[in-house]
Amino acid sequence: MLSRLSTSTLNWIIIIGFILLGVEIIFFNGGLIFSLLFSSLLLYVGKRKYYRTLGKVLFWVGVITLFFTVINMIAVRFLLIAGIVLFVRYYYKTKQNPDKWEDIFASSTVQDNEPLLRTAPLLKQRLMGDQITSEIGYEWHDVNIHGGFGDRVLDLSNTVLPDEALISIRHFIGNIEIYVPYEVEVSIHHSSVLGRANIFGTHHLKLMNHQLSYHTPGYVTEKPRVKIVTSLFSGDIEVKRI
């Protein structure tokens, strides 16, 4: 059903949802942010300590509190109502004009038949949990992921990098660790709301809504080189040689 909607319609639904969320936080429920952060913290700590009984308790308490916090939000109720309305509208139109509801790409007059090779991602999109690159040799693919909770660890010494490689990670809560061989040049752009950074021994102990940008002296002229673009809401980043 979502494929039948125009991007403009989806964008307006999302924008209205964010507006309602802002109105709710400012005028009606100022403690909402604290509730969300508290539930997220319980989930994060519980996931990290899930092998213990206390960790399991914290994790599921976090799940329950987050569920009830989210389901009571005005913005979420709006999205649910919008989803129901769109479903009814979609169902009605398919009954009225079943022949007109074809694949949105089928009406194209020009079909591209260029062959494509699909590659498996090095790291997958994951809402919760840690992700670590293989400890044995692996084939390199550029990284472009976002995640929710957990750590992301990339060891580039176990692969053969191309002349130019890209790592892009957008994450909510957790740490990012990237280990780079000595012969590889590096450019890094990092933004964080809360956290710390250690970039090849250069320390930033208090990052509050801050951006960092560094590159090694030979990045512009030498190869192989890797461009690292990361963003964190809360967490530390460490980039070091190995």
Is 161 in the same domain as 231?
A: yes
pLDDT in tens, 96-149: 666 554 555 555 555 567 787 788 788 888 877 788 888 888 899 999 998 888
What pLDDT sits at residue 153? 93
Helical axes 74-96 vs 7-23, angle rounded to 10°: 160
Is 164 in the same domain as 233?
A: yes
What pLDDT sits at residue 228? 96
The number of CA neighbours under 13 Å toward the Cβ of 237 is 30
Residue 137 lies in a domain: yes
In angstroms, rounded to a whole number, what is the distance separating the alpha carbons of residues 30 and 35? 10
Residue bearing tokens 């690292």 = 228
* 152, 130 Cβ separation under 8 angstroms: yes
Is 153 in the same domain as 236?
A: yes
Report if pTM > 0.75: no
Residue 201 lies in a domain: yes
Residue 106 lies in a domain: no
Contacts with 226 (C-beta within 8 Å, 6 or more apart), sequence order: 156, 161, 164, 165, 166, 167, 180, 184, 185, 186, 187
Q: What are phi and psi of 185, to 5 degrees?
A: -80, 150
* Structural domain harbouring 48: 2-100
What pLDDT sits at residue 148? 82
Is 70 in the same domain as 166?
A: no
Residue 208 lies in a domain: yes
Residue spans of the chain under pLDDT 70: 1-11, 13, 29-30, 91, 93-112
Q: With the CA atoms of 104, 110, 116 and 122 taken in that order, what torsion angle do they form, in degrees rounded to the nearest 10?
A: -40
**Three-state DSSP class for 194?**
strand
Residue 179 lies in a domain: yes
Is 96 in the same domain as 172?
A: no
Rounded alpha-carbon distances, angstroms, from residue 151 to 12, 13, 176, 190, 237: 33, 32, 6, 16, 10
In angstroms, rounded to a whole number, what is the distance separating the alpha carbons of residues 116 and 47? 38
Residue 42 lies in a domain: yes
Residue 116 lies in a domain: no
Residue 209 lies in a domain: yes
Number of domains in the chain: 2
Is 137 in the same domain as 86?
A: no
- Please work out, in degrees rounded to the nearest 5, the angle formed at the alpha carbon of residue 237 by the alpha carbons of 201 and 138: 100
What pLDDT sits at residue 8? 63
Question: Which of 37, 86, 102, 103 minimizes the C-alpha distance to 66?
Answer: 37
Is 218 in the same domain as 171?
A: yes
Is 84 in the same domain as 130?
A: no
Is 93 in the same domain as 25?
A: yes
Contacts with 146 (C-beta within 8 Å, 6 or more apart), sequence order: 125, 169, 170, 171
The residue among 44, 65, 100 that closes a domain is 100
Is 88 in the same domain as 175?
A: no
Q: What are phi and psi of 154, to 5 degrees?
A: -120, 120
In angstroms, rounded to a whole number, what is the distance separating the alpha carbons of residues 132 and 135? 8
Is 13 in the same domain as 86?
A: yes
Is 225 in the same domain as 138?
A: yes
